[in-house]
Structure 1
Amino acid sequence: MTLTRADSRAARHSVAARPPRRGAGRRIAAAVAGIALAAAAVYVQQNHSMSFEDRLSFITYKGRIGEVVEAKRFTVKVQSVTAARAVDTTDYSNKVTKVETSNLFLLVDVSATTTREPMRLSTLGPPFLLTEDGRRYRPTDKVADSLTLFNRWIQPGFWVSGLLVFEVPKDALPGAALVFVPPNSAIVVDTFAPEAQVDLGLSDDSAARLISQAEEYHSLVSKSR
């Protein structure tokens, strides 16, 4: 069969008029881009309605010393607060050593239980002492974890008690609160995990009494045995 010039022009016109076919890879890429844009829009909408502090803060349940504070994943109660100018600790060989401070050791007696799963406090994100002016104090590293609540598993349905020991200046006591937080992973941090903030009931007068009545020496080792 001989192709004439007119037939050739018609064939070229037919080919040019046919829209190019989009490959499967291009269609998938377009779908992924659409999903990413939608997710970005949702993120912007949610986060512009929240402050930076809100986005990074835990859900806080508040209470006072002596009260049971329920925080969904766990329940906590601060039993008592005492102060000392010296405590003791042990090392890996169980050698007992007296530890002193130019400030105060604040000993917070805490009881806790969990709702569903066992948990153990973590030094990566431990409970902390929050002062009235916003300072935060982690538990002291001068005391072995084995003598404190860090050494206890908190189980569902069972109350577990232990001490949290903070080394703080005297001016940190008035208005101070214990912020009890669940353990976090070193990789994944749940910014909406619950925390319990317990007012320790330390007014100016009660803080002054606590300081004046501080023990010269409080043995943690003898009380843990």
Structure 2
Amino acid sequence: MHQEYRTYYSHHLNRTLEMLVYGNWGYPILVFPTTMGRFYEASDFKLIDAVSAHINSGRVKLYCIDSVDRDSWYAKHLHPGARIWNHVLYDRFLSEELVPYIQRETNTGKIGVAGCSFGGFQALNFAFRHPDQVGHLFSMGAKFDIRSFMDGYYDDNVYFNNPPDFIPNAHNDEFYKMNIVLGTSEHDFCKGSNFEMAGILGRKNIPHWLDVVPWGEHDWPVWRSMFPRYLNMI
């Protein structure tokens, strides 16, 4: 399998982020790590191995990016307003710098986004904030309400990055063109959050698939079983 280490300097974040890219060609998927995870996490936990056939056949090309969770959602040493602002800058890095770079490299319009656990939140939040850039969304074992990270603080930036708040009031024709999968499992402590999100999407008549695996907990074995099936949909 072709693997390439890259760095990308973000003018929005004023720092260099690291990523691993898997595959020479194929439909691009931006993969977010779990809580405070790094760009190599998907490889370490064998998620990449689970989809190696898709990569080697040229079906997909995966871009595993770093997070800035330690400076945003999990930066308890910062005021909540600063935490959410750092995430806003990360979102701008993604939408205005990294995704256009991926689109140019792969000669693709809309890309795919995916993630497990907190990475699933990142994927869904980005997809619904920027539906003009996302064609496929694969969320696995995610929880979507992030207000608990804000210690009671609330402003427009929190609202527009908290999917249960902003999606019910959002209107965009591109929502209805996305391939959306909400993956969870029978014993996943985030299962309820996925049912709630499915209800939000259902009330807006946004097509989606709520996939509940009838075994397993909130862990990598479940997500490794899901990801290859979801990539088959591309």
TM-score range (shorter-chain normalised) is: under 0.3
Which is richer in strand? 1
Using CA pairs under 8 Å that are at least 6 residues apart, name the structure with larger relative contact order, 1 or 2. 1
Normalized per residue, the structure richer in helix is 2
The structure with the larger Rg is: 1
What is the TM-score of this pair, normalised by structure 2? Answer: 0.24
TM-score by length of 1: 0.24
